Chain A
Amino acid sequence: MDNKNQKASRNISSIPLKAIYRWLGDRIFLVVAFFLGLSIILLALGMALVLYQEGSLSFKEFGFFGFMRGSTWDPGVTLTFGALPFIFGTVVTSVFALAIAFFPALAIAIFLAEYAPRWIGGVIENLVNLIAAIPSVVVGIWGIFVFAPWMREKVYMPLWSWSSENAPALEPILGNPIGYGMTTATIILALMIIPFITALAKDAMRQVPKEQREAAYGLGATRWEVIRMAVIPYARGGIMAGAILALGRAIGETMAVAMLIGNKNTFPFSIFGPAATMPSVIINEFREAVGNLHLSSLMAIGFILFIISLAVNLLAAYITRKISITGGKIL
């Protein structure tokens, strides 16, 4: 038995290669992988194409950039459609949501990855994941019945009455303090994306080799200094990618935003007052869209949303590759 093994292992390089098997196996695998990959790309392209075709009526009527620049959305009387209010609403809510969420999320991630004792870390990690798992319609319901009224009573109303006494010029900027509006939606969005940023940043920080930390400790760094000079720079690719993917989620988030943003289709928007986003207008209006042009305009918005989401994801991939030191791998 031993003898045989030895013989086999000694001769392993002289065994003739069964070229046809290797070849065939490689080939089959390559072909299958190629077609699977291709079909996903084709599916995405096909969706984009359908959206574009369905929206082409509207693009023809107003021009592609005319549609994007148009600031009137009137499906009732003039049948004029422009996407600018929704693009504006989407960009403002998601960018501010990211701005609000980023540092708290990073702080939680640092705490989890660097400071928390194992069991506390585990508990918090699970809580954070739990938040991520709440269906957005449930978040929306909570927002409608708890958060928005609370914000109205405790924040918007006091601010509004202060401004009407002291600085009436601010009133149109602050907007109608009904509780449902851009600020409410933005804060809720921020809450919803914190778990994603936290999870990705935490994973990226846990991947930092212990030699990096030790090098910093060896120079006489304190714990916080180690995090600042060794951990975060090393993990920055993963952290940034997490942030941008979270931005992508915020852009596409539909239900909770539609329930809380107040759904006002035309400018002017105000800080507290109602507004709308691209997903929110689609979900609110597609059932009632009777006219062809109205439906086509909603499809056109869907197309723009698709392009923006794609761009954000590509940006995330690019940034990860560009600034992560792990060579583009999302940690």
Chain B
Amino acid sequence: MNFITNIKKNKKEPTEKTSTSAIAGGEGVHPHDVRMETKNLSVMYGKTVGVKNVSLPVYNEKVTAFIGPSGCGKTTFLRALNRMHDLTREAVVTGEVLLDGLDIYAPKVNPVTIRRKIGMVFQKPTPFPTMSIYNNVVAGLKLVGIRDRKLLDEVCEKALQQAALWNEVKDRLNTPGGSLSGGQQQRLSIARALAIEPEVLLMDEPTSSLDPLSSAKIEELIHDLKTKYAIAIVTHNMQQAARVSDYTAFFYVGNLVEFDETKKIFTNPSNEQTENYISGKFG
């Protein structure tokens, strides 16, 4: 477990630097709590707007939920947070995304190192189908050159347990990842993202293909994880957003309509659109 504590130590320093660059959040939020922050972030797909001019903090040790109707740009925004749009030819990102106060789109920043710090669970389950379940989980660790079998075993079991998959696969860790069911594959993808212990965890509808029991376990996991990480989660499930998140951002056709503490959004939103959406009048 040495390497994990090392990462934790490394993390400390940049976190402290942020205090100077943080923005003012909602009431009662201390500036040094900001882990990531976007400033006037826009993503265009050719002429189609993905998201427009979004400025938003992602707080440390808090869960931020992104809600909004389908096609409003939640995935687009989430992907901008770990430079996934670099891989989409037609996507153009403008504005700033700060991680611990440093712009991750700055010319000298290597996206690979950014993505090692910012883990992502995608909307569709994406295990490597030919790789064994075990190797799927530890794939990220092997990438950084960790070969210590004992450490890998430990991390693998822990991650699979966190993702509520361990009991189902513990006897078949060597079967290919493609042999799992859709929901199991999704939990495998979650385990794989957890195994690298990212500093920020981005989850795009992580429970959309799961049964209620597994969903509840994942929500529990999110609750546990936020003691250590900053978490951003996209969800279509209003109750889930209300249950797991501390902050909620409501998107509508590429715009950030409202961002506030979850409590406030769900009890007393300041925007009429937000209220309509949450009460189920549209979307």
Q: Are A and B bound to each other? A: yes
Contacts of A217 in B (CB 8 A): 84, 87, 111, 115
Which chain A positions have C-beta within 8 A of B112?
A: 220-222
Contact B143 A225 (CB under 8 A): yes
- Contact A220-B128, Cβ < 8 Å, known A215-B189, A325-B178: no
Interface hub of B82, B112, B116, B140 (most chain A Cβ within 10 A): B112
Chain B window 121-153, contacts with chain A (Cβ cutoff 8 Å), 1 for yes, 0 for no: 010101111110000000110011000000000
If A218-B120, A220-B140 touch, does A230 touch B128 (CB 8 Å cutoff)?
Answer: yes
The binding surface of chain A is classed by DSSP as helix
Q: Which of A216, A220, A234 contacts B129 (CB 8 A)?
A: A234
- Residue from A213, A217, A220 with most neighbouring chain B CB atoms (10 Å): A220
Contacts A229-B128, A234-B129, A325-B130; A220 near B144 (Cβ below 8 A): yes
Shortest beta-carbon distance from B88 to chain A in Å: 8
Q: Mark A152-185, 1 if CB is under 8 A from B, else 0.
A: 0000000000000000000000000000000000
| Chain A residue contacts of B178, Cβ below 8 A | 325
Inter-chain contact B126/A211, CB cutoff 8 Å: yes
Indicate if B193 sits at the interface (CB-CB under 8 A).
yes
Task: Name the residue of chain B whose CB is nearest to the CB of A230.
Answer: B128
Q: Are A215 and B128 in contact (CB under 8 A)?
A: yes
Q: How far is the CB of A117 from chain B (nearest CB, A)?
A: 11
Determine whether B113 belongs to the interface, using a CB cutoff of 8 Å to chain A.
Answer: yes
Question: A221 vs B124: C-alpha distance in the bound complex, in angstroms?
Answer: 19
Chain B proximity of A109: nearest CB distance (Å) = 18
0/1 interface trace, chain A 199-240, chain B, CB 8 Å (1 if under): 000000000001111111111111001000110011010000
- A210 touching B87, Cβ below 8 Å: yes
Q: Which residue of B lies closest to A212 (CB)?
A: B126
List of A residues within 8 angstroms of B80 by Cβ: none
B126 to chain A, nearest CB (A): 4
Which residue on chain B has the smallest CB distance to residue A219? Answer: B140
Q: For the complex, is B192 an interface residue (Cβ under 8 Å from A)?
A: yes
For A219, the chain B residues whose CB sits under 8 A away are 115-116, 119, 139-140, 143, 192-193, 196
* A234 contact set on B, CB distance < 8 A: 128-130
The distance in angstroms between the C-alpha atoms of A203 and B3, with both chains bound, is 40
Bound-state Cα–Cα, A85 to B116, Å? 58
Q: Which residues of A contact B139 (CB under 8 A)?
A: 216, 219, 229
Residue of A213, A215, A216, A229 with most partner-chain B CB within 10 A: A215
Among A218, A220, A230, point to the contact of B122 (Cβ < 8 A).
Answer: A218
Q: Quick one: CB contact mask for B174-201 with A, threshold 8 Å, 1 for yes?
A: 0000100000000001001100100000
* Cα A215 to Cα B126 with chains together (Å): 6
A-B contact count (CB 8 A): 67
Which residue of B116, B120, B131 contacts A229 across the interface (Cβ within 8 Å)?
A: B131
Of B115, B124, B129, B130, the residue contacting A218 (CB under 8 A) is B115
Bound complex: CA A229 to CA B84 (Å): 18
Query: Which positions in B face A, CB cutoff 8 Å?
Result: 82, 84, 87, 111-113, 115-116, 119-120, 122, 124, 126-131, 139-140, 143-144, 178, 189, 192-193, 196
Q: With CB as the reference atom, state the residue of chain A lying closest to B123.
A: A211
The answer to whether A220 and B143 have CB atoms under 8 Å apart is yes
Give the contacting residue for B130; candidates A213, A214, A225, A233; CB below 8 A. Answer: A233
Offer 19 A-B interface pairs, CB within 8 angstroms, sorted by A. Answer: A210-B87, A211-B126, A214-B84, A214-B122, A215-B192, A217-B111, A218-B119, A219-B140, A219-B196, A220-B116, A220-B143, A221-B112, A222-B112, A229-B131, A233-B130, A234-B128, A234-B129, A236-B130, A325-B178
CA distance A216 to B139 in the complex (A): 9
CA gap between A222 and B127 in the complex, in Å = 18
- Residues on A with beta carbons closer than 8 Å to the beta carbon of B84: 214, 217-218
Enumerate A224-271 residues with CB–CB distance to B below 8 Å: 225, 229-230, 233-234, 236
Cα of A215 to Cα of B188 in the assembled complex, Å:
12
Q: How far is the CB of B16 from chain A (nearest CB, A)?
A: 24
What residues of chain B lie closer than 8 Å to A212, measured between beta carbons? 126, 128
CA distance A195 to B128 in the complex (A): 28
Q: Which residues of A contact B140 (CB under 8 A)?
A: 219-220
- A229–B141 CA distance with the chains assembled, in angstroms: 13
State how many angstroms separate the Cβ of A92 from the closest Cβ of chain B.
Answer: 32
Docked complex Cα distance between A222 and B122 (Å)? 18
CA distance A72 to B84 in the complex (A): 66
A164 to B203, CA, bound (A): 70
Contact between B87 and A214, CB atoms less than 8 A apart: yes
Assembly CA distance A219 to B115 (angstroms): 6
Q: In the complex the two chains form, is A233's CB within 8 Å of B131's CB?
A: yes
Q: How far is the CB of A155 from chain B (nearest CB, A)?
A: 40
Closest-CB distance, A322 to chain B (whole angstroms) = 12
CA A230 – CA B126 in complex, angstroms?
10
Say how far B31's CB is from chain A's closest CB, in angstroms: 29
- Asked if B196 and A220 make an inter-chain contact with CB atoms under 8 angstroms apart, the answer reads yes
Please report the C-alpha to C-alpha distance between residue A222 and residue B130 in the assembled complex, in whole angstroms. Answer: 20
The verdict on A215 contacting B143 (CB below 8 Å), with A220-B196, A234-B129 known, is no
Q: Specify which chain A residues have a CB less than 8 angstroms from the CB of B130 in the assembled complex.
A: 233-234, 236, 325
CB nearest to A118 among chain B residues: B89
- The complex places the Cα of A221 from the Cα of B144 at a distance, in Å, of 9
B179 CB to closest chain A CB (Å) equals 10
Residues of A within 8 A of B87 (CB): 210, 213-214, 217
B234 CB to closest chain A CB (Å) equals: 15
Complex: A221 Cα to B126 Cα, angstroms:
15
Chain A residues within an 8 Å CB radius of B189: 215
